[in-house]
Chain A
Amino acid sequence: MTRVLLTGARAGVVQCDACGLLSRPAGPEGAGNCRRCGEMLAFRRRNPIQRTWALIIAAAICYLPANILPVMTTRTLKSVEADTILSGVVRLYESGSWVLALIILVASVMIPLGKLIALAYLLITVQLRSNRRRRERVRLYRMLKAVGRWSMLDVFVATIVVALVQLRPFMSIVPESGVMFFTAVVILTIFAAGTFDPRLIWDSGGEAGREDD
C-alpha cells in the first residue's frame, strides 16, 4: 500500500518542542516563538547527525580509560588491590554472587557498548537514506533512551561503598580516576541519544512523504 502522508515538515508547520503546539513559522530566517509557551521554535535541531556522531566518538574515546583505569582501590591490613570495572565483575563472580556479577556486567559493559553500536547503526542507516524497518529502528531508539541511565549503576555502587568502607586501619576503599571517565561515557551517550532526531528515520529514503507498508 502506498499513500502520501502529510508530515509537519511538508505542511510547513512547526511543532513546539516544549508544549507540542503546532504553529506556522514566522519566516524562513527564524521560526519565532511558540504562541502558547513562549519557547523559541525551530524547524529541526541543527546538524543532528554530526552532533550525535561527535558525542558518540567522544564517548568511545572515554570508554577506553574507563575500562583500563581502576575505579576503586581496596586497602586491608594484608593487601592493596585496585579494581577496574571488568576485574570487579570477575571478583564478584568468583565470590559466588553471579547474579550481582551479571547485573553489573549488563549495566556497565553491555548497555554502554550496545548503546554506542546501536546509535552508530541508526546514524548510518539514516545517512544511507534507508527506508527499511523504520518502526523497528524507532523502537530501538526509544529503548536506547530508556536504558541509558542504568549504566550509572557502578558509579552509584562506588559512591556508597566508598562512604561506608572507611574502617581504617582494617579496611578502606577509595575511588580512582576510572570512575570519572566511566561517568563521562554514560553522560555522553545519554546526550548522544537526546541529540539524535528520530524524525530523521522517517524523512530519509524513497520519495519524501511516501510510506511503503
Chain B
Amino acid sequence: MEHLSADVVACPDCDLLQRVPVLPPGGTACCARCGLVLGSNKPGSLDRSMALATGALIAFLLANMEPLMRVSVAGETSSTTILGGVQTMWLQGEKITALLVALFVFVAPALDIVFMLAVLLASRRPPAPRWVGALLRWMVLSGVWSMVGVMMLGILVSLVKISSLATVEPGIGIFAVGALVFLLAGMSAGFEPREIWSRVRWADGEGPETGR
C-alpha cells in the first residue's frame, strides 16, 4: 500500500477503493458498490471529440451571428439573436438575469468548445503540458453551467408562444442552435478525461508514469 498504483481509484460518489482493470475496446468500468461509471475505453474517442468540437465551433459562431427568428405584426417586424435577447433583458432593467443568461448560453459553451479544442490539440503528443490539467479542471465547471440544450427548448417554446400572437419566420440561427446541441452532446459524451490525465506532465515533475 505504500505506492498507490495508478489503476486504484476511490469512487467519487461512495469513496470505495477499487482497481479499474485494463478495459477492452468499448468496455466500461462501474463502481462495484454504487454503480457510478469509473472509466471507459472508447477507441478513437480523442479524434472523434476533435471532429465534433470543430463542428461545434462553426455551429456556435453561426448560432450567435444569424437571427433566430423574424416576427411581424401589422407591418412592424423584429428579429433577434441570443445575445440580442440578453441585451434587451439588460436594457429592461433585469441586469442580473441578463448576465446569468449570457453566462449559461454564451460564455460557458464558448469556453467548453475552446478548452476542448486546446486540450485535444495539446495532448496529441504526450507528455501534455501542465496547463492542459488546469483546462481539464475548468472544463468540469464550464460543462456544468453550459445550457445550450435548455436554450434550444426555450427557443422552440417561444416560437410556438409568439406564433399565437404574430407571424413568425424561423431563421438560420435556430437551425444552427439545433445542430450545436447535438454536436456538443456528442463532443462531451465521447470525451474520456482519464485518457488525457494519463498523458499530462505531473505537477511534481515526475510523471506521467510510463508503464501504465
Contact = CB atoms under 8 A, between A and B. Distances in A.
B54 interface: no
Contacts of A135: 33-35
B interface bracket (residues with beta carbon within 8 Å of A): 35 or more
Contact of B80 (A6, A150, A160, A194): A160
Quick one: which of A38, A141, A194 has the most chain B CB within 10 A?
A: A38
B151 interface: yes
A7 B97 contact: no
A37 B4 contact: no
A112 interface: no
A155 B135 CA distance: 29
Given A11-B1, A36-B202, A199 B15 contact: yes
Contact of A9 (B15, B84, B86, B197): B15
B109 interface: no
Nearest to A96: B164
Contact of A164 (B79, B144, B154): B79
B194 interface: yes
A29 B74 CA distance: 71
A150 B200 CA distance: 34
Nearest to A164: B71
A20 B197 contact: yes
Given A19-B197, A138-B14, A211-B33, A166 B104 contact: no
15 contacts: A7-B16, A18-B140, A21-B197, A22-B10, A36-B200, A38-B133, A155-B97, A159-B88, A159-B89, A164-B78, A170-B73, A171-B73, A171-B165, A177-B94, A180-B97
Contact of B17 (A8, A23, A154, A163): A8
Given A183-B97, A202-B34, 20 more contacts: A8-B16, A19-B137, A19-B200, A21-B6, A35-B204, A37-B137, A135-B34, A141-B13, A155-B97, A155-B100, A157-B154, A160-B158, A161-B161, A163-B88, A164-B80, A167-B73, A171-B166, A175-B97, A180-B96, A201-B14
Interface string B57-98: 000000000001101011010111010111111001110111
Quick one: which of B14, B15, B97, B165 has the most chain A CB within 10 A?
A: B15
Contacts of B10: 7-8, 13, 15, 22
Contacts of B158: 157, 160-161, 164
B118 interface: no
Contact of A23 (B4, B34, B68, B82): B4
A125 B92 CA distance: 44
Interface of B: 1, 4, 6, 8-10, 12-17, 33-36, 68-69, 71, 73-74, 76, 78-80, 82, 84-89, 92-94, 96-98, 100-101, 104-105, 130, 133-134, 136-137, 140, 144, 147, 150-151, 153-155, 157-158, 160-162, 164-166, 194, 197, 200, 202-204, 206-207
A167 B68 contact: no
Contacts of A5: 16, 33
B103 to A, nearest CB: 10
Contacts of B161: 92, 100, 157, 161
Nearest to A92: B161
B4 A175 contact: no
A38 B85 CA distance: 40
A42 to B, nearest CB: 13
B92 A167 contact: no
Interface string A110-134: 0000000000000000000000001
Contact of B89 (A19, A138, A170, A175): A175
A26 interface: no
A180 B206 contact: no
B155 A160 contact: yes
